[in-house]
Amino acid sequence: MSNNTLKEEILKLKEELDVTIVAHFYQKDEVFNIADFTGDSLELAKFAASDSKPNLIFCGVGFMGQSVKILDPNKKVLMPRIACCAMAKMIDEDYYNQNVENLEKSGIKKEDIMPVTYINSSAEVKAAVGKMGGYVCTSSNAKLIITKALKSGKKILFVPDRCLGQNIAIDMGLKSCVVGDGSDPKDADIICYNGFCSVHQLFEVEDIEFYKEKYPDILVVTHPECKPEVCEKSDFVGSTSQIIKYIKELSIEQKVVVGTEYNMVNRLREKNTYVLSSTKPECPTMNETRLEDVRDTLLSIKDGSYINEITISEDTRKYAFEALNRMFEL
Ligand code: 13P
Ligand code: SF4
């Protein structure tokens, strides 16, 4: 079936079934283009949780659909693919608890730890953080949340993305360490778990040097999941939405090279845009979702089988909500 026929079928089913479809910027174009709303992680969570329709199809990765379910347990949240963010999979509740125990062994009391989890984490990790009075943050508000968390006078345990934690520490003039790097966590303000995004690890300082040599006036724009040395050499670092806004405001002649996922950068081609890598930086799990999957999800709403519906136990949801809500309160 052609994409156009599928698209027509999807739009018809969407109207008939009273469903909202949202998509992250990293989704394939054909999926991105049928969404009612697109945004970065924070915008998607906010929009989807306040949307009045009872059914939501989330084209993104697992933690994104879970965030909506945590915020609005009465909504049916379905994902065309249960695609898991590889970084979010790097930590589970047991690993999280082990890390807290290890910090205790190294002389930092549990009550002196303030955990902050990047939204790219499972509901269980968010709940463990919520139980300790901690926060969720996204790439667009990490600095604000860490500033607030530090007011507790405690050390920050930042999970799972070491790069985002390190980048915020550099930006705020704070000391950071990465679990297992051999340094004493007692010396750090922000203790980062050793997780990372394999897509954003692709971007190197050499790539920046290559483009700067070729086009001396080019601007370098990166996502804070990139390595600290890459972000330090960037002209702008921001969430996916912040990057889009920054680039849209540039003059058409201004060359810009971008270090984030390929589908999103490719959509910015009407500007003088380059990809900061010689390989195609695609997020494999974001790319799993196809129009066929969206159609099948709609059909499952119609026949009541509700494929790939997100479910979270109430005990987990309640604590994960606390951590997410502390972010929204700010
Ligand atoms: P944003 O919140 O900036 O959209 O980032 C989500 C993400 O997974 C980036 O890799
Ligand atoms: Fe996760 Fe990286 Fe994909 Fe973002 S780009 S969803 S952090 S694996």
Residue by residue, what is the 3-state secondary structure of the chain?
CCHHHHHHHHHHHHHHHCEEEEEECCCCHHHHCCCCEEECHHHHHHHHHHCCCCEEEEECCHHHHHHHHHHCCCCEEECCCCCCCCCHHHCCHHHHHHHHHHHHHCCCCHHHEEEEEECCCCHHHHHHHHHCCCEEECCCCHHHHHHHHHCCCCEEEEECEHHHHHHHHHHHCCCEEECCCCCCHHHCCEEECCECCCCHHHCCHHHHHHHHHHCCCCEEEECCCCCHHHHHCCCEECCHHHHHHHHHCCCCCCEEEEECCHHHHHHCCCCEEEECCCCCCCCCCHHHCCHHHHHHHHHHHHHCCCCCECCCCHHHHHHHHHHHHHHHHC
- The answer to whether residue 101 sits within a structural domain is yes
- The answer to whether residue 316 sits within a structural domain is no
Q: Are residues 162 and 190 in the same domain?
A: yes
- The answer to whether residue 280 sits within a structural domain is no
Among the three residues 152, 173, 196, which one is the final residue of a domain in this structure? 196
Q: Are residues 148 and 185 in the same domain?
A: yes
Distance, CA 192 to ligand 2 centroid (Å)? 18
141 lines ligand 1 (CB under 6 A): no
Q: Are residues 108 and 191 in the same domain?
A: yes
Spatial separation of the C-alpha atoms in residues 3 and 45, rounded to whole Å = 28
Q: Are residues 230 and 251 in the same domain?
A: yes
Residue to probe by mutation, ligand 2, list 197, 226, 265, most atoms within 8 Å of CB: 197
Among the three residues 174, 196, 218, which one is the final residue of a domain in this structure? 196
Q: Are residues 261 and 292 in the same domain?
A: no
Q: pLDDT tens for the chain, 330 residues: list them.
A: 788 899 999 999 999 999 999 999 999 999 999 999 999 999 999 998 899 999 999 999 999 999 999 999 999 999 999 889 999 999 999 999 999 999 999 999 999 999 999 999 999 999 999 999 999 999 999 999 999 999 999 999 999 999 999 999 999 999 999 999 999 999 999 999 999 999 999 999 999 999 999 999 999 999 999 999 999 999 999 999 999 999 999 999 999 999 999 999 999 988 799 999 989 999 999 999 999 999 999 999 999 999 999 999 999 999 999 999 999 998
Cβ atoms of 96 and 159 within 8 Å: the answer is yes
- The answer to whether residue 330 sits within a structural domain is no
CATH of the domain at 40: 3.40.50.10800
Nearest atom within ligand 1 for CA of residue 283: 10
Residue to probe by mutation, ligand 1, list 136, 161, 225, most atoms within 8 Å of CB: 225
Q: Are residues 121 and 210 in the same domain?
A: no
Distance, CA 40 to ligand 1 centroid (Å)? 6
Q: What is the pLDDT of residue 3?
A: 83
Q: What is the pLDDT of residue 71?
A: 96
Nearest atom within ligand 1 for CA of residue 85: 8
- The answer to whether residue 173 sits within a structural domain is yes
Residue to probe by mutation, ligand 1, list 22, 27, 41, most atoms within 8 Å of CB: 41
Q: Are residues 190 and 205 in the same domain?
A: no
239 lines ligand 1 (CB under 6 A): yes
Q: What is the pLDDT of residue 201?
A: 97
Among the three residues 179, 196, 213, which one is the final residue of a domain in this structure? 196
- What is the tally of structural domains in the chain? 3
Q: Are residues 77 and 138 in the same domain?
A: no
Q: What is the pLDDT of residue 82?
A: 85
Distance, CA 252 to ligand 1 centroid (Å)? 25
Domain range for 206 = 200-275
- The answer to whether residue 61 sits within a structural domain is yes
289 lines ligand 1 (CB under 6 A): no
Q: Are residues 169 and 213 in the same domain?
A: no
- The answer to whether residue 186 sits within a structural domain is yes
Q: Are residues 172 and 205 in the same domain?
A: no
Q: Are residues 257 and 302 in the same domain?
A: no
- The answer to whether residue 327 sits within a structural domain is no
- Identify which ligand lies nearest to the alpha carbon of 202: 2
Distance, CA 171 to ligand 1 centroid (Å)? 19
61 lines ligand 2 (CB under 6 A): yes
Predicted TM-score (pTM) above 0.85: yes
